[in-house]
Amino acid sequence: MRMRKVMAAALTGLALVGLAGTASASASSQADYPWPPKDVTPVHKTKAELQKQADGFSARQERTFPRIFRGATNVEPGPWGGEAAGVFDDMQYMGNWTTFDYQGQNLTTYMQVNAPGHIKLSPKQLCERDKCTGEVRDHRGGVTVFTVNDTHGIHAAWNFRPTGEVVWAQSWQAGTEPQLAAVASDRAYTFTR
């Protein structure tokens, strides 16, 4: 059931990108998304809890990346951590690198899962800071904002959630925005469980 929702999000992103070239982002739609949400509850977990969660995230990447990045092989999630791999002391976010083979190339993604309230930057402020190329609302009350850094060739999808969590995924491969959105909007990547 969850995979169907992830795939529905990916297909929505593909449809928007395919129909419009890119999903459209407007200042008014970003301004309409309240950030930070009211009544955000911070989440603090022990190192052991975070390691268990990180193990689950890696298993999820191994299972879902071949479907999201259709036909991806050799999916190898790197260790999760904060300032360094495996460092979880009082962390409010976790990130990791994942490499895999996709469409004849070796692709690397980076994703970061942020606890409720950790990211103060609103979608509108993100688009003032970075070059935004689109925005998609999801069926669970969140919004995914697409950014690109032309200088470094970084394409990213930032999923802002009603819980105050922000999950983002990036790659250095143009055309992967719908897949990045599917990864970032996957509610299995959360601090709140």
Domain assignment present for 7: yes
Domain assignment present for 192: no
Domain assignment present for 190: no
Domain assignment present for 53: yes
- 63 CB-near residues (< 8 Å, 6+ apart): none
Give the whole-angstrom CA distance, residue 97 versus residue 56: 15
The pLDDT-based confidence of 22 (bands split at 50, 70, 90) is: very low
Task: Decide if 133 contacts 158 (C-beta within 8 A).
Answer: no
Domain assignment present for 191: no
Mean pLDDT of the region 19-33: 47
Closest C-alpha to 185, from 148, 123, 147, 137: 137
Domain count along the chain: 1
Domain assignment present for 189: no
**Domain of 91, in residue numbers:** 2-184
158 compared with 89, residue with greater pLDDT: 158
* Per-residue pLDDT at 124: 95
* Per-residue pLDDT at 89: 65
Domain assignment present for 12: yes
CA distances from 177 to 18, 28, 34, 60, 82 (A): 11, 22, 24, 19, 24
Provide the token pair at 26.
Answer: 């407007």
130: how many CB neighbours lie within 10 A of its CB? 17
The fraction of the chain above a pLDDT of 70, given in percent, is 83
Closest C-alpha to 11, from 148, 179, 124: 179
Amino acid in the structure at residue 130: D
Domain assignment present for 108: yes
> Could you report the per-residue pLDDT of 156-169, keeping only the tens digit for each?
999 999 999 999 99
> Could you report the per-residue pLDDT of 119-153, keeping only the tens digit for each?
999 999 999 999 999 999 988 999 999 999 999 99
